[in-house]
């Protein structure tokens, strides 16, 4: 009964380093999303995917890349970490694209860039 | 331009009383509205939703009201319980938009015993 699993939970990076935030879901959901949440703010969509092999940009994609080779996994890549990317990152999935379908979220990755 | 706004960053109520959380939106293309609840160090969890063809949806202690003409919705929690203390996010989506949701900045609800 894992749902959406994100790893790692915490990470500190130096400016210019790269890393991959992992996200996997076991609900066979086609739709997956990456958000970032800055302090006191709502969730901003970074990238999303409507199925394996298909990804598209969200509201704030600059500095990030994604891939979707399987239904289960949707990793988020930071290539050159910048202080502005310090945030909490949430991965989510949903079963269909219907507007009323709730999204299921992981518990987040807290990332600090120093 | 923020399309979903929650103008009250925080709300404090007494246990047993009603909590009313408000949300305004600007995009008339939105046709579903969802509320999520978030505890510290956890991801948001879905609470309740409403379609734009309805003006009310109720689930136990939680009721969401939608006023389309005013582009306003509200979440009522009655009676409020200390365990309801959390951040509540309002989200809106359009049926033709790949399930993408636009989130408000959240309201922190504190229910005092």
Q: What CA–CA distance (Å, rounded) separates B91 from B25?
A: 9
Q: How many CB pairs under 8 A join A and B?
A: 76
Residue B94: what pLDDT? 86
State how beta strands B107-112 and B10-14 pair.
parallel
Work out the minimum CA distance from B98 to partner chain A, whole angstroms.
5
- Interface probe for A, chosen from B27, B41, B43 (most Cβ of A below 10 Å), is B43
Question: Does B104 reach chain A within 8 Å, measured CB to CB?
Answer: yes
- Chain A contact present for B106, CB below 8 A: yes
Encode pLDDT of A35-74 as tens digits. Answer: 999 988 899 999 999 999 999 999 999 999 999 999 999 9
State residue B110's pLDDT score.
Answer: 98
The confidence band for A99, taking pLDDT boundaries of 50, 70 and 90, is low
- Cross-chain Cβ contact A31/B46 below 8 Å: no
| pLDDT beyond 70 at A98 | no
Is residue B1 within 8 angstroms of chain A, CB to CB? no
CB contact under 8 A, B105 and A42: yes
Among B9, B94, B99, select the one facing A94 at the smallest CB separation: B99
Q: Do B105 and A50 touch (CB under 8 A)?
A: no
- Report the percent of chain A where pLDDT is more than 90: 88
Q: Bridge partners of B61?
A: none
Q: Please write the tens of the pLDDT for every residue from B37-92.
A: 999 999 999 999 999 999 999 999 999 999 999 999 999 999 999 999 999 999 99
- CB count, 10 Å around CB of B26? 13
The pLDDT of residue B98: 72
Burial letters for B75-100: b for 16+ Cβ neighbours within 10 Å, e otherwise? Answer: bbbeebeeebbbbbbbbbbbbebbbb
Please check whether residue B75 is in contact with residue B88, taking contact to mean a CB–CB distance below 8 angstroms: yes
| B107: closest chain A residue by CA | A40
The pLDDT of residue A100 is: 78
pLDDT at residue A97 above 70? no
Instruction: Count other Cβ atoms within 10 Å, centred on residue B109.
Output: 21
Mean pLDDT of B16-24: 98
């Amino acid at each position: 009964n894992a749902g959406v699993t994100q790893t790692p939970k915490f990470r500190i990076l130096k400016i210019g380093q790269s890393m991959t935030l992992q996200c996997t879901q076991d609900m066979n959901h086609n739709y997956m999303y990456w958000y970032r949440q800055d302090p006191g703010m709502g969730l901003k969509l970074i990238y999303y995917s409507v199925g394996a092999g298909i990804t598209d940009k969200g509201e704030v994609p600059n500095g990030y890349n994604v891939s979707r080779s399987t239904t289960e996994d949707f990793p988020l890549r930071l290539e050159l970490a910048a202080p502005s990317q310090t945030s909490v990152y949430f991965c989510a999935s949903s079963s269909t694209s219907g507007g009323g379908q709730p999204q299921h979220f992981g518990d987040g990755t807290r990332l600090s860039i120093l | 331009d923020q399309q979903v706004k929650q103008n009250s960053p925080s709300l404090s109520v007494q246990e047993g009383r009603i909590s009313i959380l408000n949300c305004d939106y600007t995009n008339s293309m939105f046709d579903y509205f969802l509320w999520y609840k978030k505890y510290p160090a956890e991801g948001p969890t879905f609470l309740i939703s409403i379609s734009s063809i309805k003006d009310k949806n109720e689930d136990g202690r939680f009721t969401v009201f939608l006023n389309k003409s005013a582009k306003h919705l509200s979440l009522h929690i009655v009676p409020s319980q200390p365990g309801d203390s959390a951040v509540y996010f309002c989200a809106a989506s359009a049926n033709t938009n790949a399930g993408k949701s636009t989130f408000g900045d959240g309201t922190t609800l504190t229910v005092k015993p």
